[in-house]
Structure 1
Amino acid sequence: MKVINLAEPYVKEQIVNQSIVLALGFFDGVHLGHQEVILAAKQKAKQLNCLLAVMTFDRYPKLAYQNLDEATVTYLTKTPTKLELFAKLGVDITYVVEFNQNLVPMKPQEFVDKYMVALHAKCVVAGSDYTYGKPQIANMTTLKDYAQGRFEIVAVPDKKDQQGRISSTRIRQAIDEGNLQEANFLLGYSYQFGGRVVHGDARGRTIGFPTLNIAYEKDQRLLATGVYAVKTKVADNWYYGVANIGHNETFGDDRQLTVEVYLFDFNQDVYGQDVVVKWCHYLRPTVKFKTVDELIKQLKNDEIVGRKYFGLK
């Protein structure tokens, strides 16, 4: 998949000079609803013998439109994870647009001309609620007027389950509640994020459970505190394990929130390496144990339960 980063005003030579079907959206989470949009675009691209392209933004557009504090915003999927998921869906080109101050005042007609027509879109596919400016005047209904017959338009209806519309908002709520089963169902895959392995207190090693201390990005949305069954990618290999998101209350109060992963049958030194963690199953809440021995006993049980979940001995 070819990735092209655009910043307004972009250089037209950056644009692939081939006809495309263009899927539009911010796609935070790349959940089942988003996948429906991209797969509809993929089917259309096959019909029209075009390349399949996706256009997304590097950050929430609402940060600029609503003047929000960027430090308070978190994402289900950072751009690298999005790109990985797009590639798995068979996308040929992804345009990642920097949402800078030059885009904020852009009128809908100019946006359509520069970011749809000039990208050689023969068909534009998006969710029925997609907007490209003020919702009242820049929506999928008014897109026909701005398109002026230059490309076809496909508005994909909301994907729903028994609880209603599948949305990033529902997934964020499930993530915040630690309802991983619900979140993963709505995503259509195991929630994932990672970071760089850094030095922690090294206490786990002294009690027989050495962990990878993961330095996560500040704008990555974390799961609720708790213990989870996980799969972790180190280099090109996946390993099973259990992970803890918590404050290590057993060793004191007011401690920093950490993400620590204990991998089964693993003894490599991977400090400084980037890893990816797939969060597969919620095991239990975090607990402040009275003694270290009680903690060790619980960690042993966590490993037993984690191995059982993955079907390991």
Structure 2
Amino acid sequence: METYFLHHPDIEVENSDPKTIALGFFDGVHRGHQAVIKEAKRIADEHGEKTAVLTFDPHPSVVLGKTRKQIHYLTPLHEKLEKLEQLGVDIVYVVRFTAAFANLSPEAFVEDYLVALGAKHVVAGFDYSYGKKGAGKMQDLAGYAKGRFDVTTINKQEAFAAKISSTKIRSAIESGDLDTADELLGYPYKIKGTVIHGDKRGRTLGFPTANMKIEDDYLIPKLGIYAVKFIIGGKSYAGMASIGYNVTFKTDQEMSIEVFILDFDREIYGEEAEIEWYHFFRPEMKFSGMEGLIEQLKQDEANTRAYFAK
């Protein structure tokens, strides 16, 4: 897959061959996004063209918001690019979302990007907007195209009697409802990181854990205990993950993400790994002593084994 990073107004690219372009920010590349991209690929294949995606980075709210804010993504850019490639996308244009780009008129966006990049067909969701303050709507796009490219609008994609959206998925993850989030995404929610040294207290409890340093701006689920899959070296292992502050032992510790990997005994410090999140069991709890904590961890392990045995 070819990836071009564009910074307005310097948008010259070598590849302006005819292509079908899918439009969207695509955070999460969820089932709604997949419908847009798959239709773009179907059209491109039908016409012997390449499938392209035009997306942005960072999230528009970083630039347009009145207050400075940090965005936590369902799929940071590198992860988004991986998922787009898995869907068969040939070319991705990543436009740096700046104030100058945000101030483009809808007409200028069409001319400077869609026409300039060789669009022969453009596909986007029914609620996609473009140009300054989102003034351009999908129903207007064919008029701006002036016959130079065709337009396909993807209708609202629904699940649980509501629109599938990144906002809904984000809310589900933040509330610990990973079952719903995974259903809307169409795959298990995943974060990546590096295994680092922790305080090794898990070993004394009989539950040694892989302590994870998450470097990207992933959205982290709420505090608590989860059933997860731990992926390392291309292999997947069932595990139970803890997101919390080890409140039984400390009150001033930073939040940690630790995974007790079932039936696993290997030194993996410094290695990159992934965590797939499946199911929330319980919130973080403070125990009066180690015995109560150990008993609860045994129950958590039993619950995790039962979950994956289903």
Scaled to the shorter chain, the TM-score interval is over 0.9
Alpha-carbon distance between aligned partners in 2 of 1:91 and 1:64, rounded to the nearest angstrom: 27
Count, aligned residues: 310
SS in 1 for 2:195: strand
The letter for the 2-side match of 1:48 is H
**Aligned counterpart in structure 2 of residue 118 of structure 1, from 116, 124, 132:** 116
Cα 1:40/1:305, change in 2 over 3 Å: same
SS in 2 for 1:23: strand
Q: Does 1:43 align with 2:42?
A: yes
Structure 2 partner of 1:9: 9
CA contact (8 A) 1:15 1:119 kept: no
For residues 239-258 of structure 1, the aligned pairs below 5 Å read 239-258=237-256
What's the TM-score once normalised by structure 1's chain length?
0.92
The letter for the 2-side match of 1:146 is Y
For residues 258-277 of structure 1, the aligned pairs below 5 Å read 258-277=256-275
Q: Which moved more, 1:186-195 or 1:199-208?
A: 199-208
Shift of 1:210: 1.7
For residues 97-108 of structure 1, the aligned pairs below 5 Å read 97-108=95-106
Q: Does 1:66 align with 2:84?
A: no
Structure 2 partner of 1:280: 278
Q: Which moved more, 1:101-110 or 1:150-159?
A: 101-110
Shift of 1:135: 4.8
Shift of 1:274: 2.1
Structure 2 partner of 1:221: 219
Q: Which moved more, 1:175-184 or 1:101-110?
A: 101-110
Structure 1 residue runs of 4+, over 6 Å off? none
Q: Which moved more, 1:105-114 or 1:243-252?
A: 105-114
Alpha-carbon distance between aligned partners in 1 of 2:253 and 2:134, rounded to the nearest angstrom: 47
- 1:56-110 CA distance string (max 9 Å, x none): 1121112212344133x22111112212221222212222222134313222222
Structure 1 partner of 2:107: 109
What's the TM-score once normalised by structure 2's chain length?
0.93
Structure 2 partner of 1:290: 288
Cα 1:34/1:207, change in 2 over 3 Å: same
For residues 85-104 of structure 1, the aligned pairs below 5 Å read 85-104=83-102
CA contact (8 A) 1:232 1:275 kept: yes
**Aligned counterpart in structure 2 of residue 174 of structure 1, from 172, 185, 198:** 172
The letter for the 2-side match of 1:9 is P
For residues 122-141 of structure 1, the aligned pairs below 5 Å read 122-135=120-133, 137-141=135-139
- 1:86-138 CA distance string (max 9 Å, x none): 12222122222221343132222222122211211110100111112235631
The letter for the 1-side match of 2:170 is R
Q: Which moved more, 1:29-38 or 1:264-273?
A: 264-273
Stretches of structure 1 that go unaligned for 5 or more consecutive residues are none
SS in 2 for 1:260: strand
Alpha-carbon distance between aligned partners in 2 of 1:272 and 1:103, rounded to the nearest angstrom: 40
CA contact (8 A) 2:102 2:133 kept: no
Cα 1:162/1:266, change in 2 over 3 Å: closer
Shift of 1:266: 2.1
Q: Which moved more, 1:23-32 or 1:88-97?
A: 88-97
Q: What is the alpha-carbon root mean square deviation over aligned residues?
A: 1.9
Q: Which moved more, 1:75-84 or 1:149-158?
A: 75-84
SS in 2 for 1:103: helix
Shift of 1:273: 2.3
Alpha-carbon distance between aligned partners in 2 of 1:217 and 1:170, rounded to the nearest angstrom: 24
Cα 1:251/1:136, change in 2 over 3 Å: closer
Q: Does 1:207 align with 2:193?
A: no
